[in-house]
């Protein structure tokens, strides 16, 4: 089975489904709470349906792990394959019409993050597609990408997710980093933010809230690593987690070991 070709077709159909509602009041209509714990909005469900329909068209047998539908068997054959998705990463942006959100799909040979083998993240508005296969490399619209060589925090563009009610606690943990750095960003779709580290547009992305679902970042995890980047726990341990809709993670994503070590030093200062 050529998973990359299937994922490209699925992602394009998901993108078209999301664009029908992008920035429209209809996009925000809620349909109860999804498996990930947030309200399932029409734009999320439309993109998810497009994915399921595409998998069924190709007669794929797998376990689907999605923020909306949860964990669901697809097809009729026996399969140890897991398809992990956030149908629309950056739903708040999409509902408001802000041009930064993505369709996210990853395929794993086991129910663990470490075994992700194929990944795709598609920028819904701009049509830019990031892909990766384990051991093959990472690509942006078919062109191979690699992370930046930036090594100094003062020169680095660093993404930081601060979307939390416990903002004072988070800021206190990041104080050392904020004192040294100058260029901080957060665009509102973490899967795409991590891909920006992978292609060298930014130099690091930090999310130590412990709130981000594994479904949001499973694809970007492989894309960044295949581009030469680092993605570890805030303590510096190898990142791994079960692939379930409710599993949440904290991590530091960095372009290279030098900027990662500089970030760790700043956080611990």
Q: Are residues 134 and 222 in the same domain?
A: no
Q: Are residues 50 and 160 in the same domain?
A: no
Residues of the chain under the 50 pLDDT cut: none
Residue 33: predicted pLDDT: 61
Give the chain's domain count: 2
Domain-terminating residue out of 120, 144, 168: 144
Residue 75: predicted pLDDT: 87
Residue 37: predicted pLDDT: 61
Report yes or no: 205 and 159 within 8 Å, Cβ to Cβ.
yes
Return the number of other C-beta atoms located less than 10 Å from residue 250's C-beta. Answer: 16
Q: Supply the DSSP string of 136-149, one letter for each residue.
A: TEEEETTEE-----
Domain-terminating residue out of 114, 144, 174: 144
Q: Are residues 116 and 140 in the same domain?
A: yes
Residue 38: predicted pLDDT: 67
CATH (domain of 124): 3.30.540.10
Q: Are residues 166 and 43 in the same domain?
A: no
Residue 61: predicted pLDDT: 93
Residue 225: predicted pLDDT: 98
* Separation CA 172–CA 208 (nearest Å): 12
Kindly report whether the global pTM for this prediction surpasses the value 0.75.
yes
Question: CA angle, 197 as apex, 195 and 198 as ends, to 5°?
Answer: 60
Residue 34: predicted pLDDT: 61
| Residues found in the chain | 269
Residue 32: predicted pLDDT: 58
Q: State pLDDT tens for residues 20-68.
A: 999 998 887 766 566 666 667 899 999 999 999 999 999 999 999 998 7
Q: Are residues 55 and 119 in the same domain?
A: yes
Domain-terminating residue out of 124, 144, 164: 144
Residue 15: predicted pLDDT: 98
Q: Are residues 135 and 166 in the same domain?
A: no
Which residue range forms the structural domain that includes residue 92? 3-144
Q: State pLDDT tens for residues 181-210.
A: 999 999 999 999 999 999 999 999 999 998
CATH (domain of 205): 3.40.190.80
């Amino acid at each position: 089975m050529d998973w990359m070709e299937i994922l490209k077709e699925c992602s394009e159909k998901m993108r078209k489904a999301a664009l029908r509602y992008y920035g429209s009041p209809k996009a925000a209509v809620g349909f109860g709470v999804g498996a990930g714990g947030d309200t399932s909005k029409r734009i999320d469900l439309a993109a998810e349906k497009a994915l399921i329909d595409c998998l069924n068209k190709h007669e794929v047998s797998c376990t689907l792990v999605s923020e909306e539908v949860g964990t669901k068997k697809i097809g009729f054959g026996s399969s140890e394959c897991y398809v992990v998705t956030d149908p629309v990463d950056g739903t708040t942006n999409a509902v408001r019409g802000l041009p930064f959100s993505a369709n996210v799909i990853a395929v794993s040979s086991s129910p663990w993050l470490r075994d992700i083998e194929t990944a795709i993240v598609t920028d819904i508005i701009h049509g830019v597609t990031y892909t990766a296969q384990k051991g093959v490399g990472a690509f942006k619209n078919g062109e191979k990408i690699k992370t930046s060589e930036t090594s100094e925090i003062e020169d680095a563009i660093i993404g930081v997710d601060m979307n939390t009610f416990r903002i004072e606690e988070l800021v206190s943990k990041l104080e050392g980093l904020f004192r040294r750095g100058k260029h901080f960003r957060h665009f509102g779709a973490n899967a795409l933010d991590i891909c920006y580290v992978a292609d060298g547009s930014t130099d690091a992305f930090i999310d130590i809230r412990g709130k981000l679902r594994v479904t949001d970042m499973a694809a970007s995890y492989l894309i960044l690593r295949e581009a030469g980047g680092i993605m570890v726990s805030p303590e510096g341990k190898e990142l791994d987690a079960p692939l379930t809709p409710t599993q949440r993670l904290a991590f530091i994503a960095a372009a290279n070991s030098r900027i990662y070590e500089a970030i760790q030093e700043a956080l611990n200062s």
